[in-house]
Structure 1
Amino acid sequence: MGVVTPKIIIRMYQEESFPVRTPSYMPQLTLYYFLKKRANLQTLSLYGRIGHHSNGQEGGFYLKDGDINLKSGSFSTNYLELGFIKTNVSGRLNAYQFYKTSLEFHPKKLVDTPLHGMYSRLRWNNSLSIFRLSPEIMQNNSKRPAMSLKGETTWKFGDYENLNTFSPQRLNLSLTFYYHPNFLEDIGFFARYYHGSDYYNIYFDHQLDILRFGIMTEKLSF
């Protein structure tokens, strides 16, 4: 099975004029192949992905003073990703579990030259999601889990930014808690904590610690 994802991330700044700059354009083509499929949602899948990440700018990467040109500097990278997805239902926890692990590789020739030595081209990604299943959900496939928890990590390999092999700056991590109240059909609430390098294109050199609250829609049903 193949899936095309036209992903775009837009960040709004607290400014008086033109608060949205350099969106992240992140189209992806992903192919999935079932290696094992059993009853009770127990599956093992292999997937491969071709991805692109750019900001649609064509200016110089550096300013005259040597700082990165955050407003109009060009940022572009292409990558290949290969990984596994495992799903199962835990009777002991009464929960649906989703685990994904992958290696993400950015070929040197497909990465903007100024990023060489600054941007990790080999990354190990992991994701674990747990959806709490109530007896009502087990009996009615149209109902959605009331609560879910998702943890994600990325470890960045390679010689870049003169970081030590086990430097904490190589780790990106996030934790998301999602709650879907019974009185809402498709809308839920979430709280998310993120720590690591900035994921917004040319801002990758910045470090973030973010606690976010909001609303979201969850299409997964059982």
Structure 2
Amino acid sequence: MFASPLNLYRIIYKLLLIAFCCNLLCSTSKAQANSSYLKDSTDTARSTRYINQEFNRIYLQNARLSTFGNEYGNVLPTQLVADLVGNFVVFNTAKSRFSFVFNPRVKLRLLATQGAPVKSPSYMPGGTLYMRTNRNYYKPSFLSLSYSHHSNGIRGPTLNPDMTFNRDSGKFTTNFYTLTYTRGKRVDKDNLIANQYKSLGLEVHAGLFNLGYSKALKNQYGFVRLNGSYLYNLTRAYTDEVDATKRTFNNWMRLQVDFQYIMDKYNNYNIAQINKRLNINAIYYYQFPFMKNVALMAGGGYRGQDDYNIFFQDSYGYFTVGLAAGVSFGFHH
């Protein structure tokens, strides 16, 4: 028995209605899935950018400071010592895990002698590339690769006729690369933010490959060095000067310890001869509320090999006081 035309039309109508409903449900399900996927993708991108932004702040917090003051204990007494560092942020965006800072540096020593001369300043242009290696800005880890040139801007012979180093007008030149790994930890309290960072790096001078250095430095100057540092920084909450209902977090205190150990063959000194291979210093910084990117500093250390160009043969302990300034003090939340 065949269905009547009316019943057949009803069956076809019901089938079409069912097909339409199924298609509508499928389309809605796909739209919801696509919407969920796009939302997840957007949230992930937004989260990654926020992480990159926080790491960019961390990189700057670890940037080298400029210092002005005096050191007591140098082989040549001084009236003023300055280590001037310019941190020019060339690349720093929330869209990338990388950051690049051009950081030229000039070291000056105003000698405590007649005329107060500045003997052969250390000119040290360079740059640093940063890259985060995790996503946790409360326990950050990152790599940095630096290039530095170090010279004193003098063209005279590096050696005197008697084969001693020409400390008065001798040329000093070296180029070096430094790869550093840093790990940190941040702890937030109601009125305080504590950050600490531990770094370990390897510094290799081009002179190791007979490139880019004053030839007289061969076997007399350290071309391979192990570097390390510890930084502990406290940021404190202050009542905003304009709006008493708001708080501003500014730097309060900082302690930084840096060390360097010469690892390669160097003037026939034994690898364990610490007094000729170790450079170490500890500096304490304190900022009053009215100070923004400036702090009082005091500390001291020991130089097994002086880092002031042609004077590298000097070894001595010293004490320093003065002022420090730089972008790493501009840590606000």
- Give me the TM-score of the superposition, normalised by structure 1: 0.89
Q: CA deviation at 1:156?
A: 0.5
How many Å separate the matches in 1 of 2:188 and 2:293?
26
Maintained 8 Å contact 2:299/2:319: yes
Maintained 8 Å contact 2:173/2:214: yes
Aligned CA RMSD, in angstroms, stands at 2.2
Residue by residue, what CA displacement relative to the aligned partner does 1:74-104 show, whole Å, maximum 9, x if unpaired? 1100111111122221469962102221100
Matches within 5 A, 1:178-193: 178-193=285-300
Aligned position for 2:219:
117
The one-letter code sitting in structure 2 at the alignment partner of 1:130 is Y
Whose strand fraction is larger, Structure 1's or Structure 2's? 1
Whose helix fraction is larger, Structure 1's or Structure 2's? 2
Q: CA deviation at 1:209?
A: 1.2
Q: Does 1:8 align with 2:106?
A: yes
Task: Give the length in aligned residue pairs.
Answer: 219
How many Å separate the matches in 2 of 1:183 and 1:107?
44
The one-letter code sitting in structure 2 at the alignment partner of 1:13 is L
The one-letter code sitting in structure 1 at the alignment partner of 2:254 is S
Q: CA deviation at 1:5?
A: 1.2
Larger Cα-atom Rg: 2
Q: Percent identity?
A: 26
Maintained 8 Å contact 1:141/1:221: no
Matches within 5 A, 1:28-177: 28-40=126-138, 42-90=139-187, 95-108=194-207, 109=210, 110-134=212-236, 142-168=248-274, 169-177=276-284
Residue by residue, what CA displacement relative to the aligned partner does 1:91-131 show, whole Å, maximum 9, x if unpaired? 69962102221100012322221000100110010011001
Consecutive unaligned residues in structure 2, runs of 5 or more: 1-98, 240-245
Consecutive unaligned residues in structure 1, runs of 5 or more: none
Deviation larger for 185-194 or 6-15: 185-194
SS in 2 for 1:202: helix
Maintained 8 Å contact 2:175/2:206: yes
How many Å separate the matches in 2 of 1:184 and 1:134?
13
How many Å separate the matches in 1 of 2:200 and 2:114?
42
